[in-house]
């Protein structure tokens, strides 16, 4: 089976316009993410999917693989599905967020391997221990899993509710995914489901429709770039790293 890692990279951003082209220690954000992704060993290729010609030019400049997509996609999953539809030779699609220059290549490998090792899984995602200060934060999405590390439910509320002390630390969902290509194409065409609409969590659509989501657990969460402060922290990290 062949694996493709796809990086959706949109030019529009509410807080950081032109975010993929912002500089981090001498390189653009999109280049930083791409360079981390190509360190993964399991994927056979890495592709940037963008809706903007300037991002396309930048990826070609540093020697990356890039495809143009429609500007009208309502979600990143729709953009991902458009790209996957053009590459039938890839059986598994790993979706790496375009604003995570510190993505761990090992996480990409583990996600892809989860689907390679478990034929009954339709998609896979990531979770990390939930910090106590995030228990009541609806922007920190929680997930509970079964004994086979498959998702039972995702919620913006704290799950499970601690009527008694937690026997195991609760988990925070991290929005990195791997999909079987055929499932991804079908998933993108499905209507929104009631729980998905209520929680505003797209992954609930898969669970409501009876599909299986594998969950791999990691100890730390990678930092995404959403603000100028995030950009500054990433600058400092890479400058320190490259001075060694």
What distance in Å separates the CA atoms of residue 145 and residue 148, rounded to the nearest whole number? 8
Average pLDDT estimate for 192-217: 96
Evaluate whether 68 touches 51 at the Cβ level (below 8 Å).
Answer: yes
- Count of structural domains within the chain: 1
Instruction: Supply φ then ψ for residue 27, to 5 degrees.
Output: -135, 150
Query: Across the chain, what does the average pLDDT equal?
Result: 93
> How many other β-carbons are positioned within 10 Å of the β-carbon of residue 133?
8
Is residue 129 within 8 A of residue 215, CB to CB? The reply is no
Q: Which domain holds residue 117?
A: 3-243
Maximum distance among all Cα pairs of the chain, rounded to whole angstroms: 56
Q: Which residues pair with residue 129 across a beta bridge?
A: 171
**Averaged pLDDT for residues 218-242:** 85
In the predicted structure, residue 227 carries a pLDDT above the cut 90: no
Rounded to two decimals, the pTM is: 0.92
CATH number at residue 160: 3.90.550.10
| Residues contacting residue 162 through CB under 8 Å, at least 6 positions apart | none
> What would the DSSP string read from start to end of 110-129?
HHHHHHHH-TT-SEEEEEEE
**What are residue 113's phi and psi, to 5 degrees?**
-65, -30
Q: Tens digits of per-residue pLDDT, 30-85?
A: 999 999 999 999 999 999 999 999 999 999 999 999 999 988 877 778 889 999 99
Q: Is the pLDDT of residue 145 over 70?
A: yes
In this structure, the chain runs to a length of 244
């Amino acid at each position: 089976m062949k694996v493709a890692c796809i990086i959706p990279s949109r030019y529009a951003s509410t807080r950081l316009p032109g975010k993929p082209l912002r500089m981090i220690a001498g390189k653009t954000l999109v280049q930083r993410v791409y360079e981390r992704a190509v360190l993964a060993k399991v994927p056979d290729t890495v592709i940037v999917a963008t809706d903007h010609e300037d991002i396309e030019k930048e990826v070609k400049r540093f020697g990356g693989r890039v495809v143009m997509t429609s500007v009208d996609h309502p979600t990143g999953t729709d953009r991902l599905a458009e790209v996957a539809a053009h590459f039938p030779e890839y059986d598994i699609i790993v979706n790496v967020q375009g604003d995570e220059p510190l993505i761990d290549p090992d996480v990409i490998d583990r996600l892809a391997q989860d689907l390679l090792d478990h034929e009954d899984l339709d998609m896979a995602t990531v979770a990390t221990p939930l910090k106590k200060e995030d228990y009541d934060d609806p922007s920190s999405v929680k997930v509970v899993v079964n004994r086979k590390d498959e998702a039972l439910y995702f919620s913006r509320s704290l799950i499970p509710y601690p009527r008694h002390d937690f026997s195991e630390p609760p988990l925070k969902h991290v929005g990195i995914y791997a999909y079987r290509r055929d499932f991804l194409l079908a998933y993108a065409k499905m209507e929104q489901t009631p729980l998905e609409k209520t929680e505003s969590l797209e992954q609930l659509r898969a669970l409501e429709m009876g599909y299986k989501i594998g969950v791999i657990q990691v100890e730390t969460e990678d930092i995404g770039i959403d603000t100028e402060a995030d950009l500054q922290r990433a600058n400092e990290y890479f400058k320190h790293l490259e001075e060694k």
